[in-house]
């Protein structure tokens, strides 16, 4: 992933947790996301599913956007969230679907 394409920590997070910012950028995005065992598309789908299942709503939007950029379709996100509802719970899936819909709408310009 090029430096420009890598998600970056915000200034607030970097100010309070500079080492966490460094590890996020160098280890998570610089190493883990670059491993050849899974495509970035698959990693994105897994990441959105995990965030939705754990009800980490603050992170879902950014990762849905990244998933779309990595080739995951709107329909695949919807199917994943529908499937996930039966394993992670209806409220988690519905909340994630609302966030995903907002991101998809913003990215499509509609």
pLDDT tens across 13-42, in order?
Answer: 888 899 998 998 899 999 999 999 999 999
Domains belonging to the chain, first-starting first, are 7-36 (no CATH), 39-108 (1.20.1290.10)
Is the pLDDT reported for residue 11 higher than 90? no
pLDDT recorded at residue 6: 54
- Distance separating alpha carbons of residues 37 and 43, to the nearest angstrom: 10
Name the pLDDT band for 4 (thresholds 50, 70, 90): very low
Q: What is the pLDDT of residue 45?
A: 98
Q: How far apart are CA 97 and CA 59, in angstroms?
A: 13
């Amino acid at each position: 992933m090029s430096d420009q394409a890598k998600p970056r920590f915000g200034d607030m997070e970097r100010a309070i947790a500079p080492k966490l910012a460094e590890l996020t950028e160098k280890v998570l995005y610089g190493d883990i996301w670059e491993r050849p065992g899974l495509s970035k598309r698959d990693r994105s789908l897994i990441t959105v599913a995990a965030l939705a299942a754990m009800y980490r709503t603050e992170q879902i939007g950014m990762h849905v956007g990244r998933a779309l950029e990595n080739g995951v379709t709107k329909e695949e996100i919807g199917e994943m969230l529908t499937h996930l509802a039966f394993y992670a719970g209806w409220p988690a899936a519905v909340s994630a679907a609302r966030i995903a819909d907002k991101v998809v709408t913003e990215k499509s310009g509609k």
